A = this chain, B = another copy of it.
Amino acid sequence: MNQAMPNVTRNTRQRAEVLALLREVEGFHSAQQLHQMLLARKAGVGLTTVYRTLQLLVDAGEVDSTRLPGGEQLFRRCSQSKHHHHLVCRDCGRTVEVAGPAVERWADQVAAQHGFVDVGHTLEIFGTCAECVR
């Protein structure tokens, strides 16, 4: 007959391609950009699969995601697994990982002062990097 247990993650060629690309790429990129790169290297991966794989990786904590002011979602494989934030170039996606212990404390403290619990935060710094200025 059969048994119910729809919880197996398969090791497919497409997921390996996406992961390999993310390992070589620097900074944040959109799903569509990554898809274009995969096309360029003749990796056979559909756009839908790119989206799904990225979402899987985000859920698994393997990939960080942020959103452009326009709402577009960007993805990046992060080197650190601990909590940190990003300084991102609006034009080329170059990213610097930054840590601000003082900011973390400030955020928690402000929230506590107002009686908030289970506190989290989002913080992104945007700008144009030195390369893109020229």
Chain B residue, CB-CB nearest to A88: B116
B-contacting 9-mer, from A2-10, A23-31, A126-134 = A126-134
Q: Is A110 a contact of B87 with CB atoms below 8 Å? A: yes
How many copies of this kind of chain does the complex include?
2
Task: Report chain B residues within 8 Å CB of A123.
Answer: 121-124
Q: Distance (Å) between the CB of A22 and the closest chain B CB? A: 21
| A interface residues, how many (CB within 8 angstroms) | 35
Q: Which residues of B contact A126 (CB under 8 A)?
A: 119-122
Give residues of chain A (86-118) contacting chain B, Cβ–Cβ below 8 Å. Answer: 87, 89-90, 96, 98, 100, 102-103, 106-107, 110-111, 114-118
A122 near B124: Cβ-Cβ < 8 Å: yes
Contacts of A133 in B (CB 8 A): 117
What residues of B have a CB within 8 angstroms of the CB of A56 in the complex? none
- Report chain B residues within 8 Å CB of A118: 90, 127-128
The 8 closest A-B pairs by CB, nearest first: A116-B127, A115-B130, A71-B71, A119-B127, A121-B125, A123-B123, A118-B128, A111-B127
